[in-house]
Structure 1
Amino acid sequence: MTAPLDAPESAQKAEPEAITEGVRNTANRSLRQIAWQRFKRDKVAMAGGVVVILLILTAILAPVLTKLFGYPPNEFHQNLIDPLTGGVLNDPNDPMSGLDKTGGISGDHLLGLEPVNGRDLFSRIVYGAQISLLVAFCATLLCVFIGTVLGIVAGYFGGWVDTVISRAMDIFLAFPLLLFAIALAGVIPDGAFGLTGNGLRVGVLIFIIGFFNWPYIGRIVRGQTLSLKEREFVEAARSLGASNTHILFRELLPNLVTPILVYSTLLIPTNIIFEASLSFLGVGINPPTPSWGGMLSNSLQYYTTSPHFVIIPGLAIFITVLAFNLLGDGLRDAFDPRSSD
């Protein structure tokens, strides 16, 4: 659309100059800056990212939060529990006062108390976040490391190297991971590799989840590498005499950061659920160390008298997994807008 003929010359030039300025501003921004602008417009993904940050801060500051708003996670409060039913009493000074329908939620116990033991649920949820996020993040890092290295090597070199790695991926993908994890965790000795107790349990969970899940990201990296290795910048690096190592880790790897980052954010909630499942089945974190899956397992027999004991750890898992999924979807749409079409 052009300006009217009788308009001043400055008005006729205003629109082309505005278009040119917009194109110039877009050209001056990097792909990451453009992706960040897209991500900021996705309010749902931004909300997921805020929740993820709050969860991470909660896990890191668990000892501080417990001192400020709760009690030690393994401290019993038997005087608040009905010895017959195991529920939380309305009035600890009157055993005939009946059960508290809120589960003991008060200013002293923000999320109430566990039945029977009377442990503070707030502190146990907060410390449970440490276990879930620690296992999920470390397992994801191990998975991403193995999958990225093997995927990029398979895609770049091809031939028999690609065949061997691809068949290994097929074998790992066909492996019954949950059954193997249950069997392996069930036969772990009390001490091994210089670790004991839950330190050993956490290490084994990280190894099982990370080592046996790498083919998922390995396939993504391999497919992207097959496409990138035919691009002009790789041919230019070869013509300049660059080594294979330089091409792999200086030319190809920086261009794979985006899909690796997006897939990692989608893999973390899967690992959180996996750890919670093992703890729920009794082969994950040993009690009395708090774990969301273990808390859910212990709560099933009290769901009629103390429903809060079931709802609170279930909500913790639900909110955490949902937040990471929303964040991952937002990052995927920001870095690849065509995926949302």
Structure 2
Amino acid sequence: MTAPLDVSGQAMEAQPEAVLEGVGGKAIEGRSLGQIAWIRLKRDKAAIIGAFVVVFLTLIAIFAERPFGGLIALFGDLPNVPHNNLIDPMTSAPKAGWGGISLEHPFGLEPVNGRDLFARVLSGAQISLLVAFLATLVSVVIGALLGVVAGFFGGWVDTLISRLMDVFLAFPLLLFAIAIVGALPDQALGLQGNGLRISVIVFIIGFFSWPYIARIVRGQTLSLREREFVDAARSLGAGNGYIIFREVLPNLVAPILVYATLLIPTNILFEASLSFLGVGVNEPQASWGGMLTRAVDYYQIAPHFMIVPGLAIFITVMAFNLLGDGLRDALDPRAR
């Protein structure tokens, strides 16, 4: 059998697929949805930078103080150790350099008491990220469960949960948090001090923020419950619980993950706002919002005292927003 001829009468060359098939070439392997999303995410340089910053800040928050490691003591000063000898008694400002910045104190010193800003920023990262992660976890769990139940069952169940969402969305969350945290006793529910305050703040943010993610999950569930794989599961005798947790919820991981990364910076700002208003964690525990509160009185003699915690909040929130935007684009099945 001769090779096929083209229009000019010359023998046509074999196609690459035919050559590979003849020599036993490897078959082309498909890519999973996770691999496609990772390839898209790697192309977004801003999202990758945001992810590195988020991981870096998370590791710092975990290992900043004992019992997890003590990076503060290893690379800097302790957050609550005063250095009155480095403060000018006449102006209450650090004596040496711009804000007392030196190799021993890379971010400078607080006015009046001379506490190390580097150590206090790292210690404040623990509070901000702890509250943000735990509050987001509470919101995601409650919102995802109620949203998928409302969207899947519909009817009076959907109506009841939707009206409950409207009530929570109309609730003055900031005022409620200020009133509750400000009226807390020193000890309650087996907790005391800042441990009690952090627990109450996490509960308030998480319990009253779930309607935002519940609405997203409900809308996605309304579409998913009509898909073929749900009908196939029903035809095989699967119950509602199996369909919700094994068929519907796994298909909601992408929007839940994206919204969670965008909710974390909102919770960081909320905790900083409470601390700035004086109803967050108490001194001497460092918090970024509390540092900004004290900086208001000394910004003329020590402007770095306001700049350092302000930049910490800005960089952290920006990093989470960049990562959230990148995940949203990478996990979008319609994106190319």
Same fold (TM over 0.5): yes
- Give the distance between the partners of 1:326 and 1:138, measured in 2 at CA: 21
Q: Structure 1 residue aligned with 2:292, among 281, 296, 299?
A: 296
How many angstroms apart in 2 are the aligned matches of 1:169 and 1:30? Answer: 36
Residue matched to 1:194: 190
- The 3 A distance-change label for structure 1 pair 291 and 22 is farther
Residues in 2 aligned to 1:314 and 1:8: alpha-carbon distance in whole angstroms:
73
Tell me which residue corresponds to 2:77: 71
CA–CA distance in 2 between the matches of 1:8 and 1:72?
A: 81
Q: 1:37 maps to what in 2?
A: 39
The more displaced of 64-73 and 206-215 is 64-73
Shift of 1:42: 0.6
- For residues 296 and 267 of structure 1, the distance between their equivalents in structure 2, rounded to whole angstroms, comes to 22
* Distance in 1, Cα, partners of 2:84 & 2:291: 18
- TM alignment of 1:44-123, pairs within 5 A: 44-63=46-65, 64-90=70-96, 100=97, 102-123=98-119
Query: Residue 82 of structure 2: SS of its match in structure 1?
Result: coil
1:296/1:235 CA distance change after superposition, 3 Å: same
State the match for 2:3 in structure 1.
none
Aligned to 1:307: 303
Match of 1:316 among 293, 301, 312: 312
Q: Offset of 1:110 from its aligned partner?
A: 1.2
- String of CA shifts for 1:305-328, please: whole Å, max 9, x gaps: 101100000000000000000000
* Cα drift, residue 24 of structure 1: 3.8
Gaps of 5+ in 2: 1-5
Q: Deviations over 1:151-181 (max 9, x none)?
A: 0000001000000000000010111110111
The DSSP-based 3-state class of the residue aligned with 2:213 is helix
Match for residue 173 of structure 1?
Answer: 169
Percent pairwise identity = 66
- Quick one: distance in 2 between partners of 1:62 and 1:16? 60
- Give the CA deviation at 1:72: 1.1
Q: Could you list the per-position Cα deviations for residues 42-75 of structure 1 after superposition, in whole angstroms to 9, with x for gaps in the alignment?
A: 1110000000000001111212321222111100
Out of 239, 248, 251, which is 1:252 matched to?
A: 248
Q: Count matched residues.
A: 323
Q: TM-score, normalised by structure 2?
A: 0.92
Residue of structure 2 equivalent to 1:228: 224
Letter in 2 for 1:135: V
For 1:240, the equivalent position in structure 2 comes to 236
C-alpha separation between the residues in 2 aligned to 1:154 and 1:325? 29
Q: Distance in 1 between matches of 2:285 and 2:205?
A: 20
Look up the match of 1:285: 281
Task: Give the Cα separation in 1 of the matches to 2:217 and 2:150.
Answer: 9
Which residue in 2 is equivalent to 1:94? Answer: none
2:156 to 160, 176, 201: 160
CA pair 105-232 structure 1, distance change in 2 beyond 3 A: same
Instruction: Tell me by how many angstroms 1:304 deviates.
Output: 1.0
Residue 181 (structure 2) aligned to one of 170, 181, 185: 185
Match of 2:271 among 268, 275, 284: 275
CA displacement at 1:17 relative to structure 2:
8.0
Structure 1: 4+ residue segments shifted above 2 A: 3-10, 14-18, 21-25
Q: Given the alignment of the two structures, is residue 217 of structure 1 paired with residue 224 of structure 2, yes or no?
A: no
Q: Read off the aligned partner of 1:275 and give its amino acid letter.
A: E
Task: Please give the secondary structure, in 2, of the residue aligned with 1:35.
Answer: helix
TM-score for both structures, normalised by structure 1: 0.91
- Secondary structure of 1:122's aligned partner: helix
Q: Is the 1:77–1:119 contact (alpha carbons within 8 Å) kept by the matching residues of 2?
A: yes
Distance 1:322 1:337, change over 3 A: farther
Q: What secondary structure is seen at the aligned counterpart in 2 of 1:301?
A: coil
Unmatched segments (≥5 aa) in structure 1:
91-99
Matched residue type, 1:283 = V
1: CA distance, partners of 2:7 / 2:193: 81
Inter-partner Cα distance in structure 2 for 1:8 and 1:182: 84
2: CA distance between counterparts of 1:87 and 1:157? 63
Q: Which amino acid letter does the alignment assign opposite residue 323 of structure 1?
A: A
